[in-house]
Structure 1
């Protein structure tokens, strides 16, 4: 049941378990355009960099990590700081259980508390699904209220094939007078 699943902030000590989930997407799919699994050390460094300012969340049940999601800078320039990019990876055996929706709902609440107004997701996309990539991620994001705002044709090459990438956007706040971006550590109540 989805009610048995808890969401918590990731800890650097989770790096190995999270990397085990991510490795599947690198090695077996074109969902990640990364072609080599990073080391645990590199993955932990990536996590810590994100966690300085943004939420990095873990879904778990009975101490088993089922998936994770996080926000990170969109583009990385000051004028974009009230926008963020989302990333989510679920244990491949734990899909279609509502975990992604639960993670994204908490992530979105935190983003609003940080004064973030626009969320973006960069998603591998195909015209014809194959054994490495389908359009489930884009469909999930659409279900969560995102819409496609751009498509890059045949920009990713993996497994000897070319894949598209789409950018999807969700507006979660009003575009009023500039609000201050708040670091995740400043709001930590979710």
Structure 2
């Protein structure tokens, strides 16, 4: 995985996240909370909280994956409920986080591809990306290359690191999209 990866290339380092990955996942997320604007959290959750979040997602039937190289977790991605009300139960929101030294290698794109496939296999119909900070062009571009379209910007809805931050919303149809009624879900 040391070479630049391009969409469509084969990547064998993506797999479901395990409890053993949670220390690495927590460290990756901690960096984004402390230094980035992709997450609007301002306090770093500990490994117990991150494990609780992963467990809740898995119990809800959502995918949670990691990308690794030689046993080292370089990033992770998951989908979760877009909103808690029943009418939203066929729509998911994606999240992707990479180690700071693993960016620019195509890993985010590969994680997103895996996440889209896993969500389609579970029968979800829409995926929403809520990109923190309109200046987060790499995240916006990764989503656009995967068929997401911009649907709006919420201006100055977060304040972190001494500045106001926007949220860019992007959306992508999954599977049959709106061409048929979805399967029933417990919600």
Shorter-chain TM range is 0.7 to 0.9
Question: What is the aligned partner in structure 1 of residue 22 from structure 2?
Answer: 15
1:104-145 alpha-carbon deviations (Å, 9 max, x no partner): 11111111111111100111233xx5xxxx422112211221
Unaligned segments of structure 2, at least 5 residues: none
Give the secondary structure class of the aligned counterpart of 1:101.
helix
Give the secondary structure class of the aligned counterpart of 2:113.
helix
Give the secondary structure class of the aligned counterpart of 2:42.
coil
Distance (Å, rounded) in 2 between the aligned partners of 1:59 and 1:139: 19
Give the secondary structure class of the aligned counterpart of 1:71.
strand
Question: What is the aligned partner in structure 1 of residue 156 from structure 2?
Answer: 154
The match for 2:144 among 142, 162, 181 is 142
1:64 and 2:95 aligned: no
1:37-85 alpha-carbon deviations (Å, 9 max, x no partner): 0011111101110111111001011101010001100111211111110
Distance (Å, rounded) in 2 between the aligned partners of 1:18 and 1:182: 29
Alignment RMSD: 1.7
The match for 1:178 among 162, 178, 181 is 181
Give the secondary structure class of the aligned counterpart of 2:50.
helix
Unaligned segments of structure 1, at least 5 residues: 184-190
Distance (Å, rounded) in 1 between the aligned partners of 2:114 and 2:132: 24
Whether the aligned pair in 2 keeps the contact of 1:84 and 1:120 (CA below 8 Å) is: yes
The match for 1:29 among 20, 29, 36 is 36
The match for 1:163 among 149, 159, 165 is 165
Distance (Å, rounded) in 2 between the aligned partners of 1:4 and 1:179: 31
Distance (Å, rounded) in 2 between the aligned partners of 1:180 and 1:47: 24
1:89-116 alpha-carbon deviations (Å, 9 max, x no partner): 0111111112111111111111111111
- Provide the aligned length of Structure 1 versus Structure 2: 177
Normalised TM-score (structure 1):
0.86
Distance (Å, rounded) in 2 between the aligned partners of 1:156 and 1:72: 21
Normalised TM-score (structure 2):
0.88
